[in-house]
Each structure stands twice: as structure tokens, then as C-alpha cells.
Chain A
Amino acid sequence: QKEVEQNSGPLSVPEGAIASLNCTYSDRGSQSFFWYRQYSGKSPELIMSIYSNGDKEDGRFTAQLNKASQYVSLLIRDSQPSDSATYLCAVSQTSEKLTFGTGTRLTIIP
């Protein structure tokens, strides 16, 4: 079983709709959770971090964490073509290391 799992996609969403990205993890001791965005040919950049159960909102982005069910999700409201990218979920079991999922490719259709 992979430690961090994501649906590879591609996930196609119409412009202006809500894009929903999901991630599950296997280690119940995981403490910190991150969403990175990676444009084609570029390096990952952090867009959200979440540490406690519930929702965390930042502009059009909302991260949701449910430790009991071991999943974390990212919602993107009012999706824009510029949101088209691969989204990487990352989970930390220790204070230094991150374990990444393989990423979900998101395409926003104008």
C-alpha cells in the first residue's frame, strides 16, 4: 500500500466550477499535511498547509483534513484556466521529511 495516495487524473473541471482533489494516507501518526502545485516543467510550490482537523481557507483554496478517516482534500472554488497543473499532496510523519503522493493532474476547461 502506498503511503500517500492520489488519483492521478486527469481531472477535468469547467471554468468557474469547484475542483475537488483528494488524498489518503496510511500512517496514523502523520501530523502535517501540505498541498503543492506544480505547473508543467516547473518545480512544486506550496499552496496550502493544514495541521488540525477541519477546514482551512485561503482565498479560493480550502484544505480539509479528517485524521480519523485519514484523508485530506483540496477544494478550488471558481476554477480558472491558470489552476491547470498537477497537485501534489504531501504528508509529514516527522519534523523534517515529507512523503509525496504521485499527484493529480487538473485541467480547467474554458
Chain B
Amino acid sequence: DVKVTQSSRYLVKRTGEKVFLECVQDMDHENMFWYRQDPGLGLRLIYFSYDVKMKEKGDIPEGYSVSREKKERFSLILESASTNQTSMYLCASSLGPGAVETQYFGPGTRLLVL
């Protein structure tokens, strides 16, 4: 079974803090994704990566950056957290480019920015 893990289930941070969200997958997947999910807005793609050190902006990249130094690990960084970044953050992975593959989701990190 594919397993996608996220470093924290719940996180509370202060405005202006730098926040790191970590995601690890154990199935040698090429693609990894970061989404945020908000009531009424659904899942929105922040960034995705199709290879180590490669990244592509999603629909709402402003205020975020990402890092993929190793194939299994994809980090989302909030450079200076703001209250409007309070949300559920979901990481996902899929097999590889060139074929549409199922995205497998981690358990999510619920982030509260005060």
C-alpha cells in the first residue's frame, strides 16, 4: 500500500513565523503535490513537483514555497505565516509523469495561524 505521511496533524503558529510542513511518501512516486482545503473552496493546488529539485506553481502559490531535495520528501514552506493561511494542508503523491495516475493523500495538517 502507498503510504503518504505528514509531519504534524495539528499545528499552531503565530503571524510572521516561518512554517515548514513535511511530507514523505514510501512508494518511489515521481509526482508530489501540496493542496490546501477550505470550506466552500474545495481542494486547491499550491505547488507540485514531478522530480527532485523540480517544482511547478499551482493555482495559489503566493505566500508559499516548496523544496524537494529527495524523491520521497516534499516540503511546503510558509515564509511568513498570515492568518489567511489558516487551513487544512494536504500532501499527495502519484506514480509518475506521462500517465494519469491516482493521487494518494496524506492525513493532512490542520494549521492555525494566530
- A interface list, Cβ under 8 A from B: 8, 31-32, 34, 42-46, 49, 51, 88, 92, 95-103
Contact = CB atoms under 8 A, between A and B. Distances in A.
Residue among B40, B97, B102, B103 having the largest count of chain A Cβ atoms under 10 Å: B103
B100 A92 contact: yes
A10 to B, nearest CB: 13
A96 B107 contact: no
Is chain A's binding surface mostly helix, strand, loop or mixed? loop
Contacts of A31: 100
A100 B50 contact: no
Interface of B: 31, 40-45, 48, 50, 58, 90, 94, 97-100, 102-108
A46 B102 contact: yes
A-B pairs with the 3 shortest C-beta distances? Answer: A102-B42, A43-B105, A100-B43
Nearest to B94: A96
Given A43-B107, A43-B108, A95 B100 contact: yes
A97 B102 contact: no
Contacts of A98: 45, 103
Given A96-B31, A96-B50, A96-B94, A44 B100 contact: no
B108 to A, nearest CB: 5
24 contacts: A8-B40, A31-B100, A34-B102, A42-B107, A43-B90, A43-B108, A44-B90, A46-B102, A88-B43, A95-B98, A95-B99, A95-B100, A96-B50, A96-B94, A96-B97, A97-B45, A97-B48, A97-B58, A98-B45, A98-B103, A99-B45, A100-B42, A100-B44, A103-B42
